[in-house]
A and B are shown apart, each in its own frame.
Chain A
Amino acid sequence: MSEHELEKLLGGFAADTLTPDERQKLFTAALQDQQLFNALADEQTLKELLADPDVRRRLLHALNQTSTSGASGSPSWLDWLRRPATLAYAGGLAAATFAIVLGTKVYQESLRQAVQSVATEDTTPIVPASPPASQPAQAPMTDGEQKTNVAPAVESAKKEGLTDTVTKREKATASKDERRRRSEQDEARRQAEAPLAARSTSAEDATTSASQESNLPPAAAAPELKQMQANAPAGDADASAVSARALFYAQTAVRSDVGTMAQEGARKPSAEPAPEPNRPEQRMDRFALTSKAAEKSAQVKPLGLRYSVLAHEEDGQDREVDPTIAEKFSGPVYLTVETNQDAYVQVWKSVGASTTQLLFPDQESGQVSLRITAGQRQRIPLPTGSHTITLRLSRTPFGPISRQEAVMLGRRSAGQIQETTKTGTPTETQEQATYIINQDRSPTAQITVEIPLVR
């Protein structure tokens, strides 16, 4: 220990706790170092104070009391908390907890999205084989007719070898939310169809109700079912459970008396100046509800679209045809568009990947979309040549689109159900149309569909 460090022994001098060796060193140094000597002389006061046993006892008692209260009180705990190591541990623990909570949330969110996407992807290529797919299409039928028609349909499905494995797979992958949503939709559809059935049965010609399917013999209903099933691969997750056509008419039927309309349509199929065959709700406007409340309720219904390609044949009649065979007709070909509620529509024509032009409404109108009334079928002449028609429907007017948006114009909206129906025989085709329903009930819901055409 150097002489300078001997100063540290001063504390021991006052308490008289120095060892003989320390004492020797300290005092020897004090004789050589005036500063140390002065310090020792100053310490003498404290030394005398501590030399008193009574004072020493009091001090010890005070120190013990302080340490006891400190050990049991909060200051000690606070001192422990203020340690750098404790603070570092606490900070690390807080950061880890935050990371775990955040990671769990992100993981759950991604898991939820993955489940939804898996459900959509799994059900998209599914061929709907379950009876509910055809049941809504036969909604206007009476109970007796349903019994006679459903049985052959089921037999046909069995013959086709369609099993329920796909449906089971779908059910396994679909989330609980999806099931809940589906059950709600089924419930809404049943509620909408219930008055229809009642009206159909109460009408005089209930047996010849509006549905074309009801006029068909059971033998014809089976091919129709097959056709509907075959044409609905592009449907969404609910395609196997919900018929887009049934939803389309179920929603509109609430606003009109479909049975009566269908009856009139069946009596005079070609009496109209511009006959639109197989349209069970031709004169819907006459029966439209005037109640504002009813209109409001109609606005929240799923947005529905019906389109078909209409060819003018040589015999002077228009006939709905498959878009893929439109090239066979030399006469004018039209695209008919009908909605289940008032909505805005626009039709784009795309040639290749770059050229996109607005086909409907006309450029002369100065608008990019046109409002069409529910139930009114709009006829749009189609140009010749190979191109893709993009049909867009929305409750709100469309705005101008950029070039990038034009490239992605044909992207389908989520939640779309698509169903193509074909009724009648090859020589007397009654209806060949595609129904699309967007289950999104928000005001911004849209329907987008691409129709490849070769003429």
Chain B
Amino acid sequence: MNRDQILDGLRERILAFATLRLSRERAEDLTQDVLSLLHEKYAHVTELTELVPLAFQILRFKMLDAHRKALRRGEYNQESVEDLSLADPGDDPATHLDQKQRVDRLMAALAKLGERCRELFKWKLEGKSFPEIQRLMGQHSVNTIYTWDLRCRKQLMALMGGSWE
């Protein structure tokens, strides 16, 4: 699969994903922005295993920007422009707080997990791959680890309220 084919596939998926969360027009604009950036700034990235994660990352940033713009424009709650503070190019305190709260929620949810799930997450946070975790946990099949990880992830998401956000 060459780069163009990957980008074609990415365009279709990104548009469908964005449409679920934004309006059609904004979703198309968002998709176009992501692809433009991939084409212009990351033209050297050709591998599928690099291009797709990169697309996800850009997509997330673009969606966050879209939310911020909508917030600034008062699309969620109409407010006077004079009342709004100037934008900081770095992470604003709200983002920091958001991330801190998310980490706290994640830690609380991890503490509620079972021993096996905690063990699994620990190996993953230490950078161990699934085959390595399979050996560490003494399992004969890596599929067992896949299944355990899927269940643990769903359990963790449920403990966090159904979303990572």
Contact = CB atoms under 8 A, between A and B. Distances in A.
B102 interface: yes
Interface in B1-27: 1, 6, 9-10, 13, 16-17, 20
Interface in A1-54: 1, 5, 7-20, 22-24, 27-28, 30-32, 34, 37-38, 40-50, 52
A12 B107 CA distance: 18
B150 interface: yes
Contact of A41 (B1, B56, B163): B56
B129 A64 contact: no
Given A59-B107, A63-B125, A79-B115, A45 B150 contact: no
B165 A45 contact: yes
B17 A38 contact: yes
Interface of A: 1, 5, 7-20, 22-24, 27-28, 30-32, 34, 37-38, 40-50, 52, 55-56, 58-60, 62-64, 66-67, 70, 76, 79
Contact of B149 (A12, A27, A55, A66): A12
Contacts of A15: 121, 124-125, 127
Contacts of A47: 53, 56
Contacts of A34: 13, 16-17
B164 A23 contact: no
B85 interface: no
A55 B49 CA distance: 25
Given A11-B149, A40-B52, 18 more contacts: A8-B146, A8-B149, A8-B150, A16-B127, A22-B130, A23-B49, A24-B48, A30-B52, A37-B16, A41-B60, A42-B164, A45-B60, A46-B164, A48-B60, A49-B106, A59-B103, A63-B121, A66-B118
Given A8-B146, A12-B124, A34-B13, A19 B106 contact: no
Interface of B: 1, 6, 9-10, 13, 16-17, 20, 48-49, 52-53, 56-57, 59-60, 99, 102-103, 106-107, 110-111, 115, 118-119, 121-122, 124-131, 133, 143, 146-147, 149-150, 152-153, 163-165
A17 B20 contact: no
Contacts of A46: 164
Nearest to A30: B52
Contacts of B152: 11
B150 A11 contact: yes
A60 B125 contact: yes
9 contacts: A8-B143, A12-B129, A18-B130, A27-B52, A28-B48, A44-B59, A58-B107, A59-B106, A66-B111
A44 B56 contact: yes
A292 B155 CA distance: 87
Contacts of A62: 107, 110-111
A63 B122 contact: yes
B115 A31 contact: no
Contacts of B49: 20, 23-24, 27
A23 B53 CA distance: 10
B130 A67 contact: no
Contact of A45 (B20, B118, B129, B164): B164
Contacts of B149: 8, 11-12
A31 B150 contact: no
Contacts of A8: 143, 146-147, 149-150
Contacts of A32: 9
Nearest to B133: A17
A66 B110 contact: yes
Contacts of B1: 28, 31
Interface centre among B52, B121, B143 (most CB of A within 10 A): B52
Interface centre among A17, A45, A64 (most CB of B within 10 A): A17
Contact of B59 (A5, A14, A41, A63): A41
Contact of A63 (B17, B118, B146): B118
Contacts of A30: 13, 52
A38 B150 CA distance: 16
A190 B152 CA distance: 88
Contacts of B128: 17
Contacts of A18: 129-130
Contacts of B53: 13, 27, 47
